[in-house]
Every structure is written in C-alpha cells, then in structure tokens.
Chain A
Amino acid sequence: DVKVTQSSRYLVKRTGEKVFLECVQDMDHENMFWYRQDPGLGLRLIYFSYDVKMKEKGDIPEGYSVSREKKERFSLILESASTNQTSMYLCASSTDRAMNTEAFFGQGTRLTVV
C-alpha cells in the first residue's frame, strides 16, 4: 500500500519559533510537494522538489524553506512562525515514470501558531 506520512497530525507552536514539518514517502517518487490549504483558497503550492537537494519555489514560498537530503524525505521549515501561517499543510509525492499517475497525499498537519 502506497504511503505518504506526515510526522504530526496536529501541532501548536509559538510565534517566532522555528518549525519543522516532516514528510516521508515509500514509493521511490522523484517529486515531492508542500501545499497549504485554507478555506476559500484551495491548495496553494509552497515548494516542490524533483530530486534530492533540488527545490523549486511554488506560488507562496515567502516565510518558508525546504530541505530534501534523501529521496524519501521532504521537510518544510518555518524559519520564524507567524500567526498567518496557521493552516493545514499537505505533503504529496508523484512519479515522473508514468505521466498519467496521480499525486499521493499525506494525512495533513494542522498547524496553529499562537
């Protein structure tokens, strides 16, 4: 059974803290993505990675960074958390080997910054 696992389902952090959201996939996928989901705004792409140590900015990268040291793991980092980063964060992965295959999602991390 294919799997994308996010390290936490719920997280509460204080303003100014450095926050790490971890995502691991077991499908040997090349591509990994971080999205945030907010009501009325859908899923917005923060960053994605198409290979180890490679990353590309998505549509809303400000205030975030990412790390991909191993193929199976993609981390999202909030350098200094702010209340406007309170959101649901979704990690996904996909392969380049079959063009018609979908992206697989983790269960999501609901982050609250207080």
Chain B
Amino acid sequence: AQKITQTQPGMFVQEKEAVTLDCTYDTSDQSYGLFWYKQPSSGEMIFLIYQGSYDEQNATEGRYSLNFQKARKSANLVISASQLGDSAMYFCAMREGRGYQKVTFGTGTKLQVIP
C-alpha cells in the first residue's frame, strides 16, 4: 500500500491566486512528521514546511501553509498568492518509525503558474 498518495499529477494556477496540493498518508505510528518539498527544474530539493503529528496548529511558513487533518490522514499544502517562481514539482513526504526513522515520498504534483 502507498504510504504517501498525491493524486494530482499536474495542476495549473493563475498568478496571484491560491492553490491547494493534496496529500494523504498512511501510518499506524502515533508519532510521525509530514514534510513538503519543492523541486524546480534545476533539480534541487527545497524544504518548504513541516507538520508534526502532535502539533495542534497547522504549520505556516510565509506563503505556505499546511492544512493538517489528522483524522482524515491528509496534509495538504496551500500556496497563497502564487508566483511564477512557484512553478515546480512538489513532493509530500512522511517520516515514521520507532528507533530509526524512514522517510518516504509521494509521486509528486507538477504545478504550473500561468501569468
């Protein structure tokens, strides 16, 4: 079974609009962490935002926020006021495990921002 599911292979958003990228996860651990990364065409992996399983507040970092719904096992990324530089692949990832920790990724969503 997929640990991380991203159902949107590609998305378009108008510049200055907000966009939500979906992510659902599957784990039986009580303690885990959820991450979002951005990968522009240059190939580097850029960390965007983190949400811990015990965090009660949704994480925010500038224009990025994470809509964490624990009961539904979803961790959607919201990008507000999209910019042309936001065009990239976006990956959701989960860290889980006791003793040692494994990090698994989803298949990614390609976001294209339209001027």
Contacts and interface: CB of A to CB of B under 8 A. Distances in A.
Interface centre among B9, B45, B99, B105 (most CB of A within 10 A): B45
Interface in B83-115: 91, 93, 95, 99-108
Contacts of B43: 88, 107-108
Interface residues of A, number: 30
A113 B9 CA distance: 27
Contacts of A51: 100
A94 B97 CA distance: 14
A43 B52 contact: no
Contacts of A50: 99-101
Contact of B52 (A94, A99, A107): A99
Nearest to A110: B43
A92 interface: yes
B47 interface: yes
Nearest to A41: B107
